[in-house]
Structure 1
Amino acid sequence: MLNEMKDAVKTWAGSNELIQSVHLFAAQTGAVISSDGMASISLQSGQENVLEKLRSTGKKELWIPTRQMMDRDGNQVSIITLIGKIPLAFPEELGYVAVHIYEEKLSRMLESMEGNPHTNTYIAAADGSLISSRIQERSDYVTLLTHVAGIPDSGEEHYYVDKSRGAPTLVAYSKTLENGWMLVSETPMTYLIRKLSYIRNVTVAVCLLLIALGAILSYFLSKSMYLPFKRLMSRSLSLEASFRTNLPAIRERFVSNLLNNKIASSTEIQSSLSFLNLSLSLNGYVVMLIEIDDYPALERTYSTSDLNLYKFAIGNIAEEIIGESFGCLSTERQANQCAVLVNVQDTPPDEVRAILQTYAGQVSAAILNILKFSVTISAGSRYECMEDAYLSYNEAAEVIQYKLVLGTNKVIFSEDVRLERGGIDYYYPLQMEKHLINFLKNGDGPASAASLEQLTEEVKQNPRLTYENIYRLYNRLLDAVLEALLERGGSVGQVFGEGVFLYRELAGMETIDAIHEWLERVLTRIAAFAAEQETMTNPTVDKALAYMQHNFRSDLSLEAIADSVGLNPAYFSRIFKQYMGKTVVEHLTQLRLEESKALLGGSTMNIHDIARSVGYNNTNSYIRFFKKLEGITPGEYRKQIDRRRL
């Protein structure tokens, strides 16, 4: 058993090169077992003192500072000893173990640590006694270690400047080792200051170098960035200037979208008002429409750029005058129109009408005085919500069409037109058309112009006619006039010139008087063409005309007329139509009806006798042809003649 313990102690001692030897002490017998052999059967006096010190401290282990011991070869070595009781985990004291460590090897470990050549490093016991050291500079380390040992342990690493031992030194210490030792280092302040001065100088030099490099880099970077930044700033200023320049156009676009019903929500409207910086409310709006009178004449006189300036001026004049009482915005609509959005807000409706009437008159007078042309102004109804302003605009656009009836240079309100003109489904003076066309085919320009004058007066005196009905009426009359021209063997290009579009010209007429004057010129030229055709001689046709004039009161047939000039009926019909612009039957019917009209107005003969006297064996046929040509029956025609006489 004793040999086994001795072998175990040797094994422990040989397991680490730092261990010089290991001793086991038996508490009861005082026997000692050493890793280098049986030392003694009882404790030596020095060992008893160590054990007594351990027992007096009440600790389970105790470190003994460096002291000299003899090794197995008889050499003096410095040893550090750790002594502790056995067993550690129980209160009984069966014995003690002492582990002797080479201080020299511990010192070599300190020397192998990285450091500067001026720093002293110490390992000391808790009471300040030196255990091991690495000394580079001469120092009174005993005083130092005693002072550090007296500093209360806070469980952290600390440092301070020590001036008590001559030249100042920086002392750093730590008491956190588990065995209670202290690790202390001291470095001369002169060395540290010298090192710091070097670092400071290097730092200053590096900073100056960096500043110089920074200045150079800044110069090149600023030079490379200046032009893009300048372009960016220039572009920013340009965009701002462009926005300010285009702000009127943007506002005009907003009004145009509003009147086209492209902005449907009050939220979107409010956002646009804020963006455009417009001080308009969302309630109470009327739209006024300003239309340039006789715009085609201006187009023939001025260039497109001049006309655009005129329209811009109209909007400015309107905004300046109406803006005295109401917030307003203008926008160009059609080529000859400018719309003005008027914010009447809470102004009473009866007062709005009077104020707008006054301002419209002032706008019209200012335009005539400054721009030297007249305008017609219309106004729609008032709507409370701004998003409904397009309804007021639609009414104004509808109402301004009635300048066709009312004339130019007028102010027209939508409610006035609705009250005065209820409208009818259709109206066309067919009888007047028949008379006019008959005169036109015969080349009678004054008579056809008189018929046109009578038709125009009747249109003007009919208050229920809408502008659509009036345009339809004159378009249909133009259809009949051109058909008569074709029957006379002519064409639009032949009479008016190639590239003339009569229907387009008619659509450009703005008033009934303008339509009348234009259509009268058309009739005059066609009548002149028909009269010229009448002067052209054809002996065969002239002979047939004379025969028909002499015999139309009898039952005259095409064959009899053709036989009178020695031609077959088919060939004769063709050359007659080419020369006269109408058929043989149409000419014969016209002769008979003109004679019957004279009898209806100048005799007391009844309808039956008149029909037989002009060559009709059947009275119903006579009445049918008369109504087809004149638009009324013979009896109605006679009544009209009688009324005119009264």
Structure 2
Amino acid sequence: MRLSRGIFRKNVFRKHLALFLITILVPTCLFLGVYMYGYANNVKESIVSASNNDMDRVSRNLDIFFENTDRIALQASLNPSIVEMLNRPFEKSAYDFFVVKELLRGWTSYNSLFQSVYIHILQNNKVLTTNEGLYSLNDFYDAAFIHEMDRLGRSRYAVWTGVRRFHESTGVNTVDSDVLTFVRIVPVTEQTPLGVLYINFNKDVFLQTIEHLSPDSLGNIVVIDPQNRLASGPVDGLDAEAVARELQPGQTRTDVLGHGPNKYFITASKSAVNGWTLLNLTPYEAYSGQMSHILLKVSGIFAAVLALGIGLAYLFASILYGPWRRVEERLQGYVLKTFEASKGDVYAVVDHAIHNLIDTIRHNEPVLRDHLVRDLFHYPHPQDDRTLRDRFAEWGVPFEHPYFIVIVISGELRIADRENESRYNLVLYSLAEELLNTRFQAAGSVLGKVQFAFLLNTERSELQEETIHDLEACCQDIVTKAREHLDVSMHFCIGGVRPLHRVHEAYEQARRVMAYKAFLSHSGIFYANEWNEPQQFEYPASYQKLLLNTLMTGNREQAEELISDLFHRYIHNSRYPLPKLQQMLVMLMSHIMSSLAQEGYDIGPLVDEAGLLNLQTSGNSLELQAFISNQLKSVMDYLEAVREQRQISPYIRQALTYIEGKYKENISISDIAAAIGISSGHLSRLFKAEVGKPPLEYLTEYRLEQGKQLLVDSAQSLNQISEAIGYNDVHTFIRFFKKYEGTTPGEYRKQWM
């Protein structure tokens, strides 16, 4: 006993543990992985953001520095003494050169950043320095650099900037130092240069200026000149100059470079304006340290979740053992008294109980068959047709052929009989099943209130003439028998022929058609495959406008003609989508109601009494047309009754008579007011209050109504029609027609044609 209980607990524990791993642990691992990935991206983004901020600051300092240097070159180009010296150097005395030298010295002496400044005079090949005076180029201590610039060509050294090793003469000896040199052609304002300005800055002071740090502790910024030479100090384990050579002007890139303790996050940017490259170095430990911390945290969470899952799995296994044991005892002591099983073998007991349950199910085959048929109608079935047909055979319906016809039957009871609807449901279902089985092998299901669906077995994949004849004969027999016993009308829809695993498609087609039976022909048998929906449906806006105007004028004969034409065009002899047709009528009737409400009519009693939107009470399209016609008659009766109650003043009656008699002429509101003997303002107020719109708007609508009659009933041109209804030109007629009718007169005439 203890051994079997231990085995049971272990099995249950394994199942719960597996369930935990699938439902909790795996999603937890995915969540933690996504969390770590997002955290790593956030850390990287913060590093890159900080690097960009530092480089932006240094880049702005560089730009300011270069602007100041260019300002000196421009100042030299605009100074008369310097320009005069460059233009006529052979005419200048030693004193003149001294004046220029002192001028340059005055510009640069105020700032320790400048190391030396000199001008190479191109005409006499002399060099004037701020410290030593005038040199011949061949005797000048920095002649090698000048010759190097000259070899580059003026197009290159016109804006040359770079870091170099400078050999400066102090009068006694030559001192080597690292300098930042700016080379600019002067004058910059002329096309032909006369000289070249060389400005040398102390590199260490330059770096302090742009970074506000000492050269030995430049921080995490590396500065590289346009020639891809280091301006700042070298970085262990990193070829910064190679990184600069790979960058294109204007490009910014972030990489991880180096190895071991010299591994960095590097954000590199090369200016498209001045060609200088800035590298921001962040030690990789700044990233790896944070990731190690979050990894330790995530590992702790994972371990806690795993330990909790193992504990809960064991706890649930222990808790569930008791109820299972009690079920076993109950089955052995009550349900399975004849069962001989090893004492304590829970699985054997439950297995025997399942076999007894299957025996019980066999006594309920009709119910199971009904549920299977219903499932086949509503859902695609995963089993193959052979397996499904075997199941039907087990439940007493041996289907021999591979294809099935779907037929949906719907009945309409009288209102007085609806109290016995459940009893009629069973009677009609049994009647239909019995008659269908006389010609086909059938299985069906009750779907709802007086609505059933059946599967009819057939050997062909399409409806043949003989099969159609048998189907219609069965339907007629059902209708005849139903009328003999019950006062009920029946509708039948054939959904098509499908294999067993696809009968839900045919049922869906039939169900959709049956839901819109009010829009179908008067015949009680429909074929769903005839109602393939086209791709486009155009709402009959012209009918809507004409129908509303006809109702407002009370023309019953014209309203009846419009409804007949609408049903003939869209419903009786068309294949438009049935849902679209229902929406069309609902929108049409809703527009009429809303328009009446906008005109000031109280439509509450009209809606309550007429029930304009209850379209599904009709059994077919002819009944639906009669229903809509009756509702429109009710609307016109209501409008006539309301108009009889309204009292129109004599002034307004005279104004209406005048407008309807003179609409063909070019009349104004002043003409109308003068004809009835009141002021224009008083007429406008009275007319608006009693008619609901201003006189000129009423005049426009009346003209357009006459114009529509001429468009439909005559072959006159638009010019002739516009003159006949009182417009001076056709453009005014077209503009008002499109504003009020939503279409042009030509398009309106085409729609009617």
Shorter-chain TM-score bucket reads 0.5 to 0.7
1:337 aligns with 2:447: no
Q: Which residue of 2 aligns with 1:288?
A: 407
1:529 aligns with 2:638: yes
3-state SS of 1:302 partner: helix
3-state SS of 2:488 partner: coil
Post-superposition Cα deviations, 1:207-230, rounded to whole Å, max 9, x if no partner, equal: xxxxxxxxxxxxxxxxxxxxx989
Q: Which residue of 1 aligns with 2:319?
A: none
Paired with 1:559 and 1:611, the residues of 2 have a C-alpha distance of: 22
- The structural deviation recorded for 1:313 is 2.0
Q: Retained in 2: the 8 A contact 1:378–1:412?
A: yes
Q: Which residue of 1 aligns with 2:17?
A: none
1:485 aligns with 2:596: yes
Once the two structures are superposed, the pairs formed by residues 411-560 of structure 1 within 5 Å of their partners are 411-415=525-529, 417=530, 423=534, 425-460=536-571, 462-497=573-608, 502-503=612-613, 505-535=614-644, 536-539=646-649, 540-558=651-669
**Residue 585 to residue 437, structure 1, CA distance change in 2 (3 Å):** farther
**Residue 387 to residue 623, structure 1, CA distance change in 2 (3 Å):** same
**Residue 514 to residue 491, structure 1, CA distance change in 2 (3 Å):** farther
The number of equivalent residue pairs is 399
**Residue 633 to residue 320, structure 1, CA distance change in 2 (3 Å):** same
1:251 aligns with 2:366: no
The aligned amino acid for 2:635 is I
Task: Single out whichever of 399-408 and 613-622 deviates more from structure 2.
Answer: 399-408
1:369 aligns with 2:484: yes
The aligned amino acid for 1:372 is D
The aligned amino acid for 1:378 is C
**Residue 434 to residue 347, structure 1, CA distance change in 2 (3 Å):** closer
The aligned amino acid for 1:380 is G
Paired with 2:359 and 2:414, the residues of 1 have a C-alpha distance of: 33
| Selected match of 1:622 from 733, 749, 752 | 733
- The structural deviation recorded for 1:288 is 0.7
Post-superposition Cα deviations, 1:442-494, rounded to whole Å, max 9, x if no partner, equal: 23334322322232233356434332332233223213321332233224313
**Residue 613 to residue 518, structure 1, CA distance change in 2 (3 Å):** same
Once the two structures are superposed, the pairs formed by residues 204-219 of structure 1 within 5 Å of their partners are none
1:319 aligns with 2:433: yes
| Selected match of 2:474 from 346, 355, 359 | 359
Paired with 2:416 and 2:730, the residues of 1 have a C-alpha distance of: 60
Post-superposition Cα deviations, 1:355-385, rounded to whole Å, max 9, x if no partner, equal: 333323322332233323221212222223x
- Give unmatched runs, 5+ long, in structure 1: 1-227, 233-238
Q: Which residue of 1 aligns with 2:417?
A: 302
**Residue 509 to residue 580, structure 1, CA distance change in 2 (3 Å):** farther
The aligned amino acid for 1:537 is Q
RMSD of aligned residue pairs (Cα, Å): 4.4
Task: Single out whichever of 366-375 and 245-254 deviates more from structure 2.
Answer: 245-254
Paired with 1:429 and 1:580, the residues of 2 have a C-alpha distance of: 28
- The structural deviation recorded for 1:246 is 6.8
Paired with 1:603 and 1:342, the residues of 2 have a C-alpha distance of: 58
- The structural deviation recorded for 1:619 is 1.5
1:381 aligns with 2:496: yes
Post-superposition Cα deviations, 1:535-588, rounded to whole Å, max 9, x if no partner, equal: 32231433432343344334344566568674675x865764553355544421
**Residue 243 to residue 309, structure 1, CA distance change in 2 (3 Å):** farther
Paired with 2:741 and 2:432, the residues of 1 have a C-alpha distance of: 52
Once the two structures are superposed, the pairs formed by residues 43-192 of structure 1 within 5 Å of their partners are none
- The structural deviation recorded for 1:430 is 3.4
3-state SS of 2:563 partner: helix
- The structural deviation recorded for 1:242 is 11
- Give unmatched runs, 5+ long, in structure 2: 1-332, 338-356
**Residue 242 to residue 517, structure 1, CA distance change in 2 (3 Å):** farther
The aligned amino acid for 1:326 is F
Paired with 2:729 and 2:620, the residues of 1 have a C-alpha distance of: 46
Overall identity of the aligned pairs, in %: 23
Q: Retained in 1: the 8 A contact 2:414–2:487?
A: no
In the TM superposition, structure 1's runs of 4+ consecutive aligned residues that sit over 6 Å from their partners are: 239-246, 598-605, 635-641
Paired with 1:565 and 1:457, the residues of 2 have a C-alpha distance of: 51
Paired with 2:463 and 2:560, the residues of 1 have a C-alpha distance of: 47
Q: Retained in 2: the 8 A contact 1:533–1:579?
A: no
Paired with 1:271 and 1:448, the residues of 2 have a C-alpha distance of: 60
- The structural deviation recorded for 1:276 is 4.2
Q: Retained in 1: the 8 A contact 2:379–2:504?
A: yes
3-state SS of 2:576 partner: coil
Q: Retained in 2: the 8 A contact 1:361–1:411?
A: no
3-state SS of 2:496 partner: coil
3-state SS of 1:426 partner: coil
Paired with 1:368 and 1:396, the residues of 2 have a C-alpha distance of: 24
Structure with bigger gyration radius: 1
Paired with 2:683 and 2:449, the residues of 1 have a C-alpha distance of: 55
**Residue 602 to residue 457, structure 1, CA distance change in 2 (3 Å):** closer
Q: Retained in 2: the 8 A contact 1:552–1:615?
A: yes
Q: Retained in 2: the 8 A contact 1:376–1:408?
A: no
Q: Retained in 1: the 8 A contact 2:405–2:456?
A: yes
Paired with 1:460 and 1:584, the residues of 2 have a C-alpha distance of: 40
- The structural deviation recorded for 1:290 is 0.8
Paired with 2:659 and 2:382, the residues of 1 have a C-alpha distance of: 73
The aligned amino acid for 2:507 is Y
Q: Which residue of 1 aligns with 2:521?
A: 407
**Residue 485 to residue 600, structure 1, CA distance change in 2 (3 Å):** closer
Paired with 1:341 and 1:640, the residues of 2 have a C-alpha distance of: 46
Q: Which residue of 2 aligns with 1:205?
A: none
The aligned amino acid for 2:407 is M
The aligned amino acid for 1:391 is E
1:260 aligns with 2:394: no
Q: Retained in 2: the 8 A contact 1:315–1:340?
A: no
Q: Retained in 1: the 8 A contact 2:407–2:510?
A: yes
1:390 aligns with 2:504: yes
- The structural deviation recorded for 1:624 is 3.8
Paired with 1:438 and 1:348, the residues of 2 have a C-alpha distance of: 49
Paired with 2:506 and 2:716, the residues of 1 have a C-alpha distance of: 62
3-state SS of 1:490 partner: coil
Q: Retained in 2: the 8 A contact 1:488–1:530?
A: no
Paired with 1:602 and 1:413, the residues of 2 have a C-alpha distance of: 40
**Residue 573 to residue 371, structure 1, CA distance change in 2 (3 Å):** farther
Q: TM-score, normalising length from structure 2?
A: 0.45
Paired with 2:510 and 2:471, the residues of 1 have a C-alpha distance of: 13
Post-superposition Cα deviations, 1:43-94, rounded to whole Å, max 9, x if no partner, equal: xxxxxxxxxxxxxxxxxxxxxxxxxxxxxxxxxxxxxxxxxxxxxxxxxxxx
The aligned amino acid for 1:480 is H
- The structural deviation recorded for 1:627 is 5.6
3-state SS of 2:405 partner: strand
Paired with 1:334 and 1:598, the residues of 2 have a C-alpha distance of: 51
The aligned amino acid for 1:376 is H
**Residue 308 to residue 552, structure 1, CA distance change in 2 (3 Å):** same
- The structural deviation recorded for 1:639 is 9.1
Paired with 2:516 and 2:624, the residues of 1 have a C-alpha distance of: 14
- The structural deviation recorded for 1:259 is 0.9
- The structural deviation recorded for 1:270 is 6.3
Paired with 1:613 and 1:474, the residues of 2 have a C-alpha distance of: 35
